[in-house]
Amino acid sequence: MTHIDWSAAPREKMNDLVTRQVVHTALFTIARLELLAGAVVPVHSHVNEQVTTILSGCLRFTIGDGTLDLSSGQSLAISANDPHGVEAIQDTIALDVFTPRREDWIRGDDAYLRR
């Protein structure tokens, strides 16, 4: 069993507007992201299936030719390899779950988040 205390988990400042906390298990990655209003995660894709749940605030997702605003209490499932991007409409706390785990993040291959 793994107990996660987000209040004690290390915080990684990705850029001036995005902070990340991450836990990797053998099968998945769970990340708690704090995105200040105006933060942008550029369009990208990955081999991982992703489910994002908004704990507070609002994110605008760009997927394909459309956009979707996701607010507190809502979740979005993104299929593996689907290009997507995000803009924080408000200060937001989001919980992302990925499967399989984010090997690119473990390697430090996450420059798109650090812009």
Give the Cα separation of 83 and 86 in Å (integer). Answer: 11
Burial class (CB in 10 A: 0-12, 13-18, 19+), 81: exposed
pLDDT the model gives residue 108: 87
Q: Which residues of the chain have pLDDT under 50?
A: none
Give the CATH architecture of domain 12-102. Answer: Sandwich (2.60)
Distances 66 to 60, 84, 89, 94 between C-alpha atoms, Å: 10, 10, 16, 21
Give me the residue spans of the domains in the chain. 12-102
Alpha helices by DSSP H, 2-113:
103-107
pLDDT the model gives residue 112: 77
- pTM for the model stands at 0.93
pLDDT the model gives residue 35: 98
